[in-house]
Amino acid sequence: MAAVTQAPAPPAPAAPRQKPPRKRGRLTPYWLLLPGILWLVVFFALPMIYQASTSVQTGSLEEGYKVTWHFVTYWDALSEYWPQFVRSVLYAASATILCLLLGYPLAYLLAFRAGRWRNLLLVLVIAPFFTSFLIRTLAWKTILADGGPLVGALNALHVLDVTSWLGWTSGDRVLATPLAVVCGLTYNFLPFMILPLYTSLERIDPRLHEAAGDLYAKPVTTFRKVTFPLSMPGVVSGTLLTFIPAAGDYVNADLLGSTDTRMVGNVIQTQFLRILDYPTAAALSFILMAAILAMVTVYIRRSGTEDLV
């Protein structure tokens, strides 16, 4: 995440890293940490425990719920909603790959080719962020509308025949199909891919490119052997930052999809807010959390906790 917000600040000139001696203040860090960390413990960590407990409760809204270690809820939830889980992973993975393919050229352009246009282009990448994402997602309804210019063009070029055959679209519609949902997910999380990629590309010394050229590497070879490996930190954090929110999203599936494109987020939302089946919703949410935590743990094993924040 660090890569998203941190402006590439030049490191301080090699100053002696010793700290001024502090007589009092052994407790100072704890006082500084206390309110914020307490907030996170009470309103982030504790709710996770409550959720875990809710997932093994049985009962009803009228009679109240009791912890009965009813683990069957997990089994029931998985066997009923596995298609939504699979769909979430598939859609999120497709969106992440698309984000990488679309985002890399733009990040590269920003880092190496933009020159004096760089700041303007950066503003244009960040600017959409400031219009409510729901309004922007609704705009895709207009863009992908049935019989609209885009769908008409795709139809004329017989692209939709191919995508229908693959099961991504149905008939001559794009809206309310998997393609529309993936398109919306890609659009919504693209900046989360571009910014970490940009920060890691921007740190690459351009002289490395010259050196590769001097050693008779073709541009493609330079990219494969020098640029891409050096941008790996950006690729990894961009992938995480795109995949995780995309896997939990339900807004795109709801606004641009149909009942056949429901993702696990939709199920959690409906169970929690409409059907009021709290144990099932909590179990589903817990499974999603566990899957994400496993991914993040692998990531932390590779890069340590200091790089996280």
Partner 1 sequence: MAFVNWLKRHLVVIAGLLTLGYLLLPNIVVTVFSFNKPKGRFNYQWQEFSTDAWKDPCGVADMCGSLGLSLQIALWATLGATALGTMIAFALVRYRFRARGTINSLIFLPMAMPEVVMAASLLTLFLNMGAQLGFWTILIAHIMFCLSFVVVAVKARVMSMDPRLEQAAQDLYAGPFQTFVRVTLPIAAPGIAAGALLAFALSFDDFIITNFNAGSTVTFPMFVWGAAQRGTPVQINVIGTAMSIIAVLFVVAGMVISNRRARQKA
Task: Identify residues 244-273 at the interface with partner 1 (CB under 8 A).
Answer: 244-245, 247-251, 255, 265, 268-269, 272-273
138 lies in the binding site for partner 1 (CB under 8 A): yes
3-state secondary structure of 144: coil
Show contacts with partner 1 in window 290-309 (CB under 8 A): 292, 296, 300, 305-306, 308-309
| Residue 13 vs 206, nearer CB to partner 1 | 13
Applying CB under 8 A, among 45, 86, 211, 275 the residue interacting with partner 1 is 45
Site stretch for partner 1 (CB under 8 A), options 78-86, 154-162, 183-191, 228-236: 183-191
277 by Cβ neighbours in 10 Å (0-12 / 13-18 / 19+) ranks as middle
Applying CB under 8 A, among 73, 84, 96, 137 the residue interacting with partner 1 is 137
Site stretch for partner 1 (CB under 8 A), options 67-75, 116-124, 165-173, 207-215: 116-124
235 lies in the binding site for partner 1 (CB under 8 A): no
Applying CB under 8 A, among 69, 116, 135, 207 the residue interacting with partner 1 is 135
Cβ(245)–Cβ(187) under 8 Å?
no
CA distance 254 to 63: 32
Applying CB under 8 A, among 90, 145, 230, 236 the residue interacting with partner 1 is 145
140 lies in the binding site for partner 1 (CB under 8 A): yes
CA distance 104 to 93: 16
Applying CB under 8 A, among 17, 158, 207, 301 the residue interacting with partner 1 is 17
Provide the H-helix boundaries in the chain: 2-5, 28-40, 46-55, 72-108, 118-126, 133-143, 149-156, 159-166, 178-202, 206-214, 219-222, 228-230, 232-248, 251-256, 264-270, 278-303
Applying CB under 8 A, among 66, 113, 224, 225 the residue interacting with partner 1 is 113
Size of the site for partner 1 (CB under 8 A): 100
> Phi-psi bin for 9: left (phi > 0), alpha (psi -120 to 50), beta?
beta
